[in-house]
Each structure stands twice: as C-alpha cells, then as structure tokens.
Amino acid sequence: MLRDDTELPSNRDSDLVNEQEDEKLLEAIRQKQENAWSLLIERYQGRLTNFAISKLSRREDAEDIIQETFISFIKSLDNYRAEVNLETYLFTILRNKIIDKYRSRNTRTVSLIQDVFCSSQDENTYHAASNLQAAGPSQSWVVSQNEQYEIQQSILAKALMKFCQSFKDSYRFRNLKILELLLYSGVSTSTAAELVKVEESTIRAFKHRCLKQLQKFIEELNVPTDFPYSNLENLLTDTWESQRITCPKRSTIGAFLLEQLEPEWFDYIDFHVTTLGCHFCRANLKDMRQQKTLEESMFRERIMASTIGFLHNTEL
C-alpha cells in the first residue's frame, strides 16, 4: 500500500513530474530548446487550465490567462530557483493573474475560496454551505504582496508544514481535516463541527490548542521580533493556499485515483479533494483523469491495430 511521498513505479505520469525531470527540462528550456518548452507546456497545461476554469468559469478567459501565465513564466525563469516545486510555482503565477483579473473587474461577487461547498450535492456539505458567508474574494487574497509579508508567510509556512506533518505521521487525519476546514477554507467553527460531526466546543478547544502550538513552532524559528502573532489567523488562510501546505503530491493523487492508497490516506485525500474541494488538487485530479482516458483510447487503438487482421482473416 502506498503512502504520501511514494511514487507509483508503473505510473508514467509520476515519472514525468519527478522534480529531477523538471530540472532537466528547465535546463533545456534555458538553452532555448523549443522541444523542451513544448514538453513543459504539455505537462502542465491541463492542471493549470482546469484550475483557471474553476475560478473563471469561461474557457476562453481561462485559456487567455494560461497563455499569459506561460509568458510570465518565461520572463521570470531567470528568477526561478527550485525552492518551490515547478507546479506550485506555476500555480502561484496563475493565481496572481487571476487575482489581478478580479481586481480589474472590481467585482465582489465571485468566490475565491473552495466554493465546491456551494455546488456539492452532498446533503451535509450543502447544508453547511448555507452557513458560509456571502462569497467574495477573501481579504487575504487582495493583501499587497510586499516583501515583509512574504517573509512572514514563509515563516508561517515552515511552522505549518511541521505541524501538519506530525498529524500525517501519526495518522491523525481528523485533526488535519479540521485544520484544513478552519485554516485553509476559513469556515466557521460551527460549520467545521457539522462537517466532521464533532461538538463545536471541541473544535474551539482544538483550534485554541493548535494556534498555541503553532506559535510555539514559530518562536523556535528565529523570527523577527515584530512577527505579527496577533494577526496570525489572518495570515493563515493565504499562507495555506499560496504554499499549498497540505496538498498531496501528484503521485499521491494518482494513487488515490487508482484506489491504491491505504484506507486512512484514501479517506483523507477524498476529503481534501471532494469535501474540502481544494481547487489545485481538483485541477490535478481532473487532468489525470483526462490523461487516463487518452491513454485508454491510445491503448484501444493499439489493440485494434494488432487484432483487426485476425478479425478479417478468421472464419467466424
């Protein structure tokens, strides 16, 4: 059974997303090899397009913004260092472009949080949706991206990663689910209580303990003295989303798709993708499903080619 961080040896796509492969590709792109560029687009266009469509609805808008994203990527290639993986880097560019688009439209009517709550057919989540506040770009999305803010985010991300990893290592997935609901999606404690079927007072106490523990982790990290502890909650959602704190690796999403995960992991990934509705991971999952279909149709053609002669030449 597979756990996170495990690549699927038989999954060709897992090899493709291998970070070393990405690095080779980037090297070739830096040498202006058109073929490498074409390969990189092929590799990432599906998941990026699915994400853009989930935010912008219209395919034409999504396609425009994807082209702009790849242009920005080329322009910023000199600055790219492999501190974040390529997928997250591309998602960040795309996400910023979408924010700009919302800003220029000056609209407050489109949801930028995991609005799958509002479209889910599941009775519990549907009911929970009615408790969510009116949709609008979360405030953190429009916070100016100044340097100090980025430093604060990266400190918080380190502390959050450490915190979440401890839950994963000990299989405390319910804790992780509650944290994702509260800190990633920013739902109220009452909604979170309803979704995970726990008393609201338990959720409140848990949240309190988590924030204290998080503060402890932050303090262990040589932080500047002016770190905004009092503003921690406001920083959390944006950090969670931009750094993709709990997003599983693509190979794990692939294993989920093929139902090759341990039951606890399967349940958690299912929650992340279908209940929480992480748009990044849904975009990835959709892309993998599309590729699977394409692979199946190519395989079907091969079977046809190798069997058609027999069909004609065999007396039936």
CB under 8 Å, gap of 24 or more: what pairs does 3-6 form?
A: 3/261, 3/262, 3/265, 4/168, 4/248, 4/249, 4/252, 4/265, 5/249, 5/252, 6/251, 6/252, 6/255
Q: Which is nearer to Zn ion, 14 or 243 (CB)?
A: 243
Among 53, 278, 283, 288, binds Zn ion (CB under 5 A): 278
Number of residues that bind Zn ion (CB under 5 A): 4
Residue (29 or 253) nearer to Zn ion, CB: 253
Judged by CB under 5 A, which stretch of 60-68, 144-152, 246-254, 300-308 contacts Zn ion? 246-254
Task: Specify the residue, 203 or 273, whose C-beta has the smaller distance to Zn ion.
Answer: 273
CB of 245 to Zn ion, least distance (A): 9
Q: Which residues contact 157 (CB under 8 A, 6 or more apart)?
A: 239, 243, 245
Closest approach of Cβ 214 to Zn ion, in Å?
A: 20
User: Does residue 281 interact with Zn ion by CB under 5 A?
Assistant: yes
CA dist list (Å): 19 to 25, 26, 61: 10, 10, 30
Residue 51 touching Zn ion (CB under 5 A): no
Least distance from Zn ion to the Cβ atom of residue 278, Å: 3
Binding segment for Zn ion among 19-27, 36-44, 231-239, 272-280 (CB under 5 A)? 272-280
113 scored as a contact of Zn ion (CB under 5 A) = no
Q: How far apart are CA 23 and CA 99, in angstroms?
A: 28
Please identify which residue in 176, 195, 280, 283 interacts with Zn ion, judged by CB under 5 A. 280
The piece of 61-69, 139-147, 240-248, 303-311 that touches Zn ion (CB under 5 A) is 240-248
Q: Given the rule CB under 5 A, which residues bind Zn ion?
A: 247, 278, 280-281
